[in-house]
A = this chain, B = another copy of it.
């Protein structure tokens, strides 16, 4: 039996990723976003949505590039913190003890302490109402070497990515591996 909850942004799992930008003055800034995800394969592209009152929007307008800093387990508190305060009034990176490093492929900072980083160049923006969607082309992906298996592939069980759900307002840790894509369901209907 289904119950109507009304028109709301309830969905799970959602990412909680940290968007790194340079301010108009060239200072590193970071903001957590859950309205974010992969949106295109060729060229590889990612988006995040931001309110135009947010400091990150000033930053994107001044410097149209960003990093997506994907946290691992143990980083939920710092990820949450970067979504609470504004970089307009507070040096969030100093307060959180985070290190900004210049990306190799775009003019944006990434956070050294975050294990997986997408370096992105803004290609499109789209006004959707409360938020502006910023689409970036992924120019490079950086990963902590100790998260790679012996074939150089990301070991997600070592990364331990967590998710956020606006339905209960909580972060949820990673669980077991359930199976491989394009394999787990291949025998259905046979």
Known: A7-B44, A172-B176. A13 touches B141 (CB 8 A): no
Segment from A21-29, A57-65, A74-82 that makes contact with B: A74-82
B39 touches A131 (CB 8 A): yes
Give the A interface residue count (CB, 8 A).
107
Contact of A189 among B70, B96, B172 (CB under 8 A): B96
B133 touches A128 (CB 8 A): no
CB-CB under 8 A from A37, the residues of chain B are 11, 14-15, 35-37
A122 contacts B by Cβ under 8 Å: no
Contact of A38 among B9, B135, B185 (CB under 8 A): B9
B70 touches A11 (CB 8 A): yes
A83–B182 alpha-carbon span in the complex (Å): 7
Known: A7-B43, A165-B161, A173-B176. A188 touches B77 (CB 8 A): yes
